[in-house]
């Protein structure tokens, strides 16, 4: 199971998201975004190098079964 517990998220965000689904070009933009995720994965080493060099204050949490942020992005190289 993923997502938030029912009743714990205010309706503003998801109502706005639902409204945007009726806009022209919405489906194509979503397809483009999903397709482009592969370039994100290819850039993991550069992201990791940046974080290692500049040490910005961030909290990045990964789990080996996370459906959104796949495991290859987590290990330190």
Q: From the CB of residue 45, how many other CB atoms can be counted at a distance below 10 Å?
A: 11
* Chain segment 46-75, per-residue pLDDT in tens: 988 998 999 999 887 766 777 766 666 666
Q: CA–CA separation, 48 vs 40, rounded Å?
A: 12
Backbone torsion region of residue 59, taken as left when φ is above 0, otherwise alpha when ψ lies between -120 and 50, otherwise beta = beta
Asked whether residue 6 carries a pLDDT value surpassing 70, the answer given is yes
Confirm whether pTM is higher than 0.75. no
Spatial CB neighbours of 76, under 8 Å, sequence gap ≥ 6: 48
Residue 3: pLDDT band (50, 70, 90) is: confident
């Amino acid at each position: 199971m993923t997502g938030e517990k029912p009743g714990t998220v205010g309706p503003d965000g998801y109502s706005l998201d639902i409204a945007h689904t009726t806009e022209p070009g919405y489906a194509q933009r979503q397809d483009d975004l999903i397709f482009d995720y592969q370039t994100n994965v290819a850039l993991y080493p550069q992201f990791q190098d940046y974080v290692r060099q500049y040490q910005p204050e961030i909290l990045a949490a990964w789990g080996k079964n996370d459906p959104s942020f796949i495991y290859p992005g987590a290990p330190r190289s």
